[in-house]
Structure 1
Amino acid sequence: MAGFWDFLSKISIVAIPVVLGWFLNVGSQRIADSIETRNFIQSMIEQLSDPSRKARQDIALILLNEYVGKEQPEMVAKIAEIVFDENMDQLVRKGNGDPLLEIQGSTAFEVLSELNPERAKQIRETTQQRVLAALLDEVNVRQVKSTGGVQ
């Protein structure tokens, strides 16, 4: 019987450090992965905050959606909406471009549509209404000018 306990103590002396080392390794790997993910997200947000570089902004949003969108879809959808709004504001400020085409070709809008289709639909409808109202205003102004102010 003493041989069995002696054998068991020798096995436990070897096994306990191995198991403990494995658990520490798994824990440290999770911490390293968490830090890597945080750094990745920070880098993507830096890229997204520079609207002058649209291609980089699109790539950053695609990567952010791919790596974080499944875990935190609300956050990525909100970021996509903010990026889209900023791009639309720039389009309106510059006065060149078509907001409806911006919706169709916008990576931010595509990501938003994927993660929050209801909000994307609201934005599309609101944008269409704004464009229609602006076109009607332009037509009215032209009619007034062509008739010499008399309607």
Structure 2
Amino acid sequence: SRYPNDLARYPNARITFEHNQGIRERRKMRVNGNLLSSYQRQTVCLLGGVLQSEVSGMSLKLESPDKQVVQVIMKKPIEEPLEGLLEVVGEVTAKLAVVCHGYVLFPPGMSQNFDMETYNRLVELMNERKEHYPTMASC
């Protein structure tokens, strides 16, 4: 199965990644908007709510768990409507910008029941105690 173990029970989740095995092998810290500036030129995992997609499909705005607006720049145009909960794995290029290597679009039912405030606290804790939380993104 192409689905990560924790997503296997969500067959409607859409996972899109470029075929670059190196992305899967690198460690990816989970971040919120405030933490992005600490990860310049590094690959991170950012979860948030889609605010809007550009008409060209080359970028979108994502609300991070700590309510920051982050620009996500796509390498190829998005060919599907993106709304709800989105997890992006990509390289941080600016204080609030990420170049997307791949993403997971979660089904609406999961998006509605997700506790973003608790998730944000977890992200902050993981970043405060990195030695205890070696993380990999779900993709």
The normalised TM-score by structure 2 is 0.23
Instruction: Give the structure with higher Rg (CA).
Output: 1
The normalised TM-score by structure 1 is 0.22
More strand by percentage: 2
Question: Which has the higher relative contact order, 1 or 2, with Cα contacts under 8 A spaced 6 or more apart?
Answer: 2
